[in-house]
Chains A and B, each alone.
Chain A
Amino acid sequence: MCLSILAFDWEGSSISTNPAGSVVKPRGFFSRLIDNDIAWSFFHSPAAMIAAFITLVCVMATMLAPWIAPFNPFDPSQISLWDGKLPPVWVEGGQPQYLLGTDNQGRDMLSTILYGGRLSILVGLAAVCLGMVLGVLLGVISGYFGGAVDAVIMRIADIQLTIPGILLAILINGIGRTLLPLELREDFAIYVVIFAIGLTDWPQFARVTRGATLVESQKEYVQAARVIGLPRWLIIMRHILPNVMRPVLVIATIGLALAIISEATLSFLGQGIPPTTPSLGTLIRVGNEYLFSGLWWITLFPAAALVILVFAVNLLGDWMRDALNPKLR
């Protein structure tokens, strides 16, 4: 839903002007994307800088987990059940090697959160990339060519949007698991989740891209390019894609936050990543069962990690949304 609302915003209004896009002298892809105005805006927005910093720290810490985490919680032979449910080190009964305590299986919370966060970020990124590539591709095709192609693609998107994302993810997940050979299921669980979340994302990207493409392709410069006989794919690549990239990037950022939450929700419903290699979502689901038991660290730390991560990404997306909207400068 979040995405479709954004989509609306962009489709309806803000896309329509982009002076940089005008006629013959196309600038480089990236210099258009991140021009000086944006850099200026970034360095004058403390919120954006803090968000970027937190995101960066989260990403670095989790990606480097195999090197900086004290234990490898994904290796079952390292786990001792007798160490289970130990509190954080500053609480009575805590042990120095387990800084944030241990979970119900005896895994070090800190290491588990780092590894789990890595999984969450990777799942989120992969899902968003999948949705983005698919959506932008189909959206541009749909918007530029129109007619029957447009109708078919948009109807497929409609079908998809008529089934709420989380239901669809449950569905895809269920079918994916059934179709996979038995011995591959655990290994592929993560890909099935990525696929399930990514596939529910694409229509949002497609709608935005289509809307923007529709508007752009009515513009004089594109009409002109068409008149002078440039090949269609070249017009799309050179003129339309760069203009569409800004809203898409914003949606992707917010989509990343949403994808991480979707993964957590899938896991909460018992449809996500298996508990032997937990993501943040799985950790919260397990921790949730200990909410009333006094073992607060099992719930609180993963939940806090998730919220901080998603919050930072959302904040970044929020800033981008304003900064990339030329009307608001």
Chain B
Amino acid sequence: MLSYIFRRLAQSVLVMAAVSLISFSLFNFVGDPVNNMVGQEATREDRVRIRQDLGLDDPIFTQYVRFMGNALNGDFGLSYRIKRPVSTLIKERLPATLELVFVSAVIALVVGIAAGVYTGIRRNGWLSKTILSTSLVGVSLPTFIIGIALIYLFAVTLRWLPSSGRAGVVELGWWKTSFLTVDGWRSIILPAITLSLFQLTMILRLVRAEMLEVMQADYIKFARARGLSERAINFVHALKNTLVPVITIIGLNIGGLIAFSVITETVFQWPGTGLMFIQAVDFADVPIMAAYLCFVALIFVIVNLIVDLLYVFIDPRIRLGGQ
């Protein structure tokens, strides 16, 4: 077991190395950073000088080694666009994204599990069918349309909630939180709902499927035969057994939420890392793009690692490490 964990860790390191290579390759493929750093009146000599300053004319390998060395120290250089250290920017933007992801995950889990259990138990009820069909609409609409529609409805037409931005933040050390003010909660509601819809649907469906399956299992039949109440069967025995895969999924979902936050944050002007990434793409601000990619990959790798380790416990039939 220990050797498996070690091997898995080594593989993760390898994965990160590969991702860093991809991130680094961005420097050579996306746009021309020099053009974005200087005004339209800069001379050609200026451009040449800046290329040299940035080391863009060095051999690719030299550039990669330099990039890796710095990245390991958490140094991704200065943003081309706003000339501040990328690591500082990510640190500043991270709380916004994490809080948004957290609220979305809570919404997705609470609503998703509740609706999933319900539709799993009342398999053929009309409400179940309605919930299932409506939830499909949730995955059939692109995120940006949902966001714009919510803004249109709740901010422009009804004027209940702000249309965009992150108002009412309170600073707790370097962490800016939305959770301590009414305005903070008001601003987080719409983006969090938008971001959660997709995952909510997925969790709902997963829980439902698991419930359906578990309800067919022998031990539930036995429980019924023993005369246990339906409620006890549903919530104590059935739900408990569906939760293992659901909990495993949550980890993966957090990664997914962070990825999808790119679009949600763009629509709601939510000042998190996703918005920063999209602005960086438009501006060809490669240090930010590269750092963001590594950062998201790191989260995924850690989550994957945990999930893979959980596999061993969940299904011993899958013998690891081959024959």
Contacts and interface: CB of A to CB of B under 8 A. Distances in A.
> Do A and B share a direct contact in the complex (Cβ within 8 angstroms)?
yes
Interface of A: 1-2, 4-5, 8-9, 12-14, 47, 146-147, 150-151, 155, 158-159, 161-167, 170-171, 174-175, 178, 211, 214-215, 218, 257-258, 261, 264-265, 268-269, 281, 284, 288, 291-292, 303, 306-307, 310-311, 314-315, 318, 321-322, 325, 327-328
Contacts of B317: 215, 218
A297 to B, nearest CB: 15
A178 B27 CA distance: 13
B263 A315 contact: no
A298 to B, nearest CB: 14
A14 B148 contact: no
B15 A284 contact: no
Contacts of B26: 171
Contact of B11 (A5, A155, A161): A155
User: Which of B132, B258, B259 has the most CB atoms of chain A within a 10 A radius of its CB?
Assistant: B259
Given A9-B206, A12-B245, A13-B213, A163 B19 contact: yes
B300 A9 contact: no
Contacts of A269: 263, 266, 278, 281
Contacts of A307: 137, 140-141
Contact of A311 (B14, B19, B136, B216): B136
A103 B276 CA distance: 32
11 contacts: A1-B199, A2-B202, A8-B249, A12-B245, A155-B15, A164-B259, A166-B260, A167-B277, A315-B136, A318-B132, A328-B213
Contacts of A258: 139
Nearest to B249: A5
Given A164-B256, A167-B262, A269-B278, A288 B209 contact: no
Contact of B198 (A1, A159, A178): A1
B259 A167 contact: yes
User: Which of A158, A165, A306, A328 has the most CB atoms of chain B within a 10 A radius of its CB?
Assistant: A158
Contact of B245 (A2, A9, A147, A174): A9
A303 B140 CA distance: 10
Given A171-B22, A268-B144, A291-B152, A164 B255 contact: yes
Interface of B: 11, 14-15, 18-19, 22, 25-26, 29-30, 129, 132-133, 136-137, 139-145, 148, 152, 156, 198-199, 202-203, 205-206, 209-210, 212-213, 216, 245, 248-249, 252-253, 255-256, 258-260, 262-263, 266, 277-278, 281, 293, 296-297, 300-301, 304, 314-315, 317-318, 322-323
B139 A162 contact: no
Mostly, the B contact residues are helix
Given A327-B213, A327-B216, A268 B148 contact: no
B14 to A, nearest CB: 6
B136 A314 contact: yes
Contacts of B144: 265, 268, 288
B263 A1 contact: no
B133 A175 contact: no
A213 to B, nearest CB: 11
A27 to B, nearest CB: 25
B136 A328 contact: no
A291 B148 contact: yes
B11 A311 contact: no
A97 B245 CA distance: 55
A215 B19 contact: no
Given A269-B278, A307-B141, A311-B140, A1 B256 contact: yes
A265 B213 CA distance: 34
Given A162-B297, A288-B144, A311-B136, A5 B206 contact: yes
Contacts of B30: 174, 178
Contact of B142 (A12, A265, A311): A265
Contact of B136 (A162, A288, A318, A327): A318
Contacts of A261: 139-140, 142
A257 B205 CA distance: 16
Given A306-B140, A310-B140, A311-B140, 4 more contacts: A13-B213, A47-B133, A158-B304, A291-B148
Given A1-B256, A9-B210, A265 B143 contact: yes
Contact of A163 (B212, B260, B293): B293
B322 A147 contact: yes
A12 B142 CA distance: 29
Nearest to B277: A167
A175 B139 CA distance: 29
Nearest to A9: B209
Contact of B281 (A170, A175, A322, A325): A170
Nearest to B259: A164
A325 B216 CA distance: 12
A62 to B, nearest CB: 17
B15 A159 contact: yes
A214 B317 CA distance: 9
B296 A163 contact: yes
Nearest to B208: A322
A174 B289 CA distance: 13
A84 B203 CA distance: 44
A319 to B, nearest CB: 10
Contact of A167 (B139, B203, B206, B293): B293
B90 to A, nearest CB: 15
Given A164-B255, A174-B29, A306 B136 contact: no
